[in-house]
Structure 1
Amino acid sequence: MELLACGHLANEGPFRTCLHLCVEEASQVSRLYTGRGGDYHLLCVPCAKLDDPWSQLAVVCEGCTDRADARSVAHVSGQPEVRRLDRPLGGVFCEEAAPVRPANDRCLAPMADGWLVYTGQHLVPSGGTSYKLELPADEEDDNGFGTPGPALHVSSDGRFAAVVRDFGRYGVVVDLGDGRVTMRLDRQDYCNFATPFPIAFLPNGTLVVATDWNRLDRFDPATGGLLTPRDTELRDSENPPPDYLDYFHGALTVSPTGVWLLDDGWVWHPVGIPAVIDLAAWQDGQTFAAEHGHELVVRDYLWNQPASWVSDSVVAIQGIGDDSDALVDGVQLYDARSGARVGTVFGPKGRMWGVDGQLAVVGEDGLEFWDRAEGARVGVLAGYRPTAYNPRTRTFAALDNQVLRTYCHG
């Protein structure tokens, strides 16, 4: 052993730091990526912002690097290695005329045998009867957290559609067999502008939807019947009941077989806390299962990130890092049951779906396919940017200029 720059006679640490991190109690650090895999060095934030931060790095011991690495990351520079191992993609493209215009890129959704479009005034199914539908007006129109506007959701059997206002308050559920409105949705007005409307159809045909800022319920969409009666009211703020949830629900993403529900919500100050709810337990009679989801990560000022399930137990969430000011493009993978982080893939950024254990991402180059085992992009359809995906038929869809372009993944 030799005396290291930190003044310790010890084994060399796995990366370098500036000497300030060895002698000062900095609460935050900057991560300097080397461009080799996910390797990085650590500096105090002032050193990281110098013209030549590399000159500040020193070889220090394992103890000093461990203490530095335990601090929160408030700044990043450099870039991790983004692996691209593109291979030819199979599959079939089709184009057909579609004389209809979605209200936005959230208003095209798959049905059992085609696609459904919401125009802002009508629901228009492929080859079927259209129905007039307008959402109630919202009290606010705050775009500080996202773009307010309608979003379309369809049950897996294609029988019901829900049109909701993302970053807003109201929505409706429609029986596509006859155009009848079966439910009118209201998640109340407390900070509803901060997230997309929390809603998801489950594979068993029921509907999960927010009925208040901190409450989810399940319903029978055919009748609007409540399936989850329970008391969640806060009567004494000094002594909240054990099942009270101080959490703002966000976008909901269901695992393929409906065992788990990812909730991309947040809490004050604010921090994003994506959490997993045990749907199987909730449906089996655990009354307060929705109030006892387990958190995956805590991220300062960061939620509303693309997420998708890559298997029935592993979920991918975009944005590598724990602070909105110190993010790196890519996804972090979590095990739903344990909450443990089980992988990282640098690079993916954009709307995202899980496809055959891979991630399909609408990136800068087009529709990109990323393999989590290889940690790399393995194929790209240049220029193709779908807004909807049908997992049953493995088909993507984009509707632009009254042309429906679909791609069935090979």
Structure 2
Amino acid sequence: MPFHLISLPALSVSPGPIAVMHPLPDEQNVSVLALNHACELWKLNLTTGLAENLLQIDIPDLNISHPLQVVVSKDGQYAAISNRFGRHAAVYDLLARQQIMKLSRDDYHSEVCTFPLAFAEIDGRSLLIHGTLWNRVDLTDVESGELLSKRPNAQYEDDGYLDYFHGKLYVSQDQQWIVDMGWVWQPVGVIRSWNVRDWLNNAREAEDGASVSSPWDVLLDWDLPAAWVDSQTMAIWGQVDGDQLDEEDWPDEGVLPVVILSNVLTGERSTLLRGVPAYATTSPIEDVFPHPQGQLAADGDLLFLWGKGLNMTVWNRHNSAQVATEEAFCPDLYHEKARLFLQLDSQGGISAWRYTA
């Protein structure tokens, strides 16, 4: 059995049933930020067992039973929270234990794609990337609240008009690049990337800036499972139409699941993993739009793929070989710093597992 149970101390206070967790960048301990079903935000130290109730969140129309999104700034001071497919979000200062910003986006097909939310840190400043319109994301200085991407909304006839629905955001390890898992009408997924530092110098960088690229136009879904393997290379788990790839890469016909590794700067595809499992797209939650029910994590040479109804599979990204399988193992979270897979139970307990080759 390649996954081994790691003993955790009992929590000092039970947070009750937890809806979602996110890793915290604690250098001394394994810590997570947890949102429970009472809409309380907790800090859980899994090394010492200390559990702290930080604050009560207050977000309009939040449905705690629907998919949730929590993102945390690099220094761990700020957290942004939303329903994944909601219209409203809020930002919290975890040190001051208070809400500091309310956010919203328009309702044009907001129910089908993730609320764009992410933090980046540039020159010691915490910046928030957030969706405001279906085809617009903005950049805000978290501490001052200053909008750094002021520009008019482009109309359909204007140069630079972006006919694109923004989706789930991933910021690179060096905080320089944003990857956006959005879509366009057919509907079909279109993944775009652009440079954060360039955005600070050009308010329209996210629409038509020089750094914008889209090297993953062969993937069909949006809001895809993905992970950075280094500051320039991203692994993305999706579905590909063989007709859009070179015959030497993809002699088969039809749509099949793959993991693609590409360089964000150059657009060069370094690896194409075939034979990976297909994630489910139908949500088990009523009234939630279909979306990928899978997760992907990277650790050195290894990629981990898992999801609802799937076995956990482990792949070597260099030789494209599957190196391990764990049946019926579906953790809620991968804690990258601790190299732990965390799994919740219905009472708020947390189990930890580590992969050993």
Q: Would the TM-score normalized by the shorter structure come out above 0.5?
A: yes
2:318 is aligned to: 373
Which ranges of structure 1 fall in alignment gaps of 5 or more residues?
Answer: 1-87, 142-146
What's the TM-score, normalizing by structure 1? 0.68
Q: Could you report, residue by residue, the CA deviation over 1:246-268 in whole angstroms, capped at 9, with x for unpaired residues? A: 11101011121122211011111
> Match for residue 128 of structure 1?
52
State how far apart, in whole Å, the 1-side matches of 2:261 and 2:223 are: 16
Q: 1:102: how far off?
A: 5.2
Q: 1:389 to 1:206 in 2, by over 3 A?
A: farther
Deviations 1:282-341 (A, max 9, x none): 24x133221132112335862222122222222222124139x94323312222122233
Shift of 1:245: 1.5
Q: Does 1:117 align with 2:34?
A: yes
Cα pair 1:320 1:332 within 8 Å, conserved: no
1:154 equivalent to 2:98? Answer no
Task: From 306, 317, 327, give the equivalent of 2:255.
Answer: 327
State the distance in 2 between where 1:210 and 1:336 align.
Answer: 22
Corresponding residue for 2:133?
A: 212
Deviations 1:16-68 (A, max 9, x none): xxxxxxxxxxxxxxxxxxxxxxxxxxxxxxxxxxxxxxxxxxxxxxxxxxxxx
Structure 1 residues 269 and 131, CA gap change in structure 2 (3 angstroms) = same
Distance in 1, Cα, partners of 2:78 & 2:133: 22
Bigger Rg, which one? 1
**In 2 relative to 1, CA 156–403 (structure 1 residues): closer, same or farther, beyond 3 Å?**
same
- Measured against aligned partners, the alpha-carbon deviations of 1:125-161 in whole angstroms (never above 9, x if no partner) come to 11323311132017xx9xxxxx943322222222111
Using the alignment, how far apart are the partners of 1:277 and 1:322 within structure 2? 25
Q: Equivalents in 2 of 1:281, 1:326: separation in Å?
A: 39
- Alignment RMSD, CA only? 2.8
Q: Which letter maps to 2:337?
A: R
Residue type at the aligned position of 1:373:
H
Alpha-carbon distance in 2 for matches of 1:339, 1:112 = 30
Q: Is 1:311–1:357's contact at 8 Å kept on the other side of the alignment?
A: no
Matched, 1:295 2:219: no
Task: Assess, with a 3 A threshold, how the Cα gap between structure 1 residues 224 and 295 changes in structure 2: closer, same or farther.
Answer: same
Question: Residues 311, 182 of structure 1: CA spacing in aligned structure 2 closer, same or farther, 3 A cutoff?
Answer: same
Separation in 2 of the partners of 1:332 and 1:178?
41
Once residues 220 and 2 of structure 2 are traced to their aligned partners in structure 1, the CA distance between those partners, rounded to angstroms, is 37
Contact map agreement 1:321 1:328 (CA 8 A) in 2: yes
| Distance in 1 separating the partners of 2:128 and 2:4 | 32
Q: Which moved more, 1:364-373 or 1:270-279?
A: 364-373
Number of aligned positions between the proteins: 308
3-state secondary structure, aligned to 2:7: strand
Q: Which amino acid in 2 is paired with 1:289?
A: E
Residues 1:326 and 1:251: Cα distance change in structure 2 (over 3 Å): farther
**Candidates 148, 160, 163, aligned match of 2:81:** 163
For residues 272 and 16 of structure 2, the distance between their equivalents in structure 1, rounded to whole angstroms, comes to 37
Structure-2 separation of matches of 1:158 and 1:394: 18
Q: Distance in 1 between matches of 2:66 and 2:137?
A: 21
Residue 100 (str. 1) matches residue 15 (str. 2): yes
Relative to structure 1, is the Cα distance of residues 382 and 149 closer, same or farther in structure 2, using a 3 angstrom cutoff?
closer
For residues 187 and 218 of structure 2, the distance between their equivalents in structure 1, rounded to whole angstroms, comes to 9
Amino acid at match of 1:361: L
Please, which runs of 5 or more residues in structure 2 have no aligned partner?
Answer: 45-50, 243-252, 280-293
Q: For the residues of structure 2 that align with 1:300 and 1:395, how far apart are their CA atoms?
A: 29
Aligned to 1:265: 182
Code of the residue aligned with 2:238 in structure 1: it is G
1:300–1:381 CA distance, 2 compared to 1 (3 A): closer
The alignment status of 1:387 with 2:332, answered yes or no, reads: yes
The answer to whether the aligner puts 1:356 opposite 2:264 as a matched pair is no
4+ long deviations beyond 6 Å:
none
Q: 1:264 to 1:362 in 2, by over 3 A?
A: same
Task: Quickly say closer, same or farther: Cα 1:340–1:182, change in 2 above 3 A.
Answer: same
1:315 pairs with 2:230: no
What is the aligned-residue identity percentage?
29
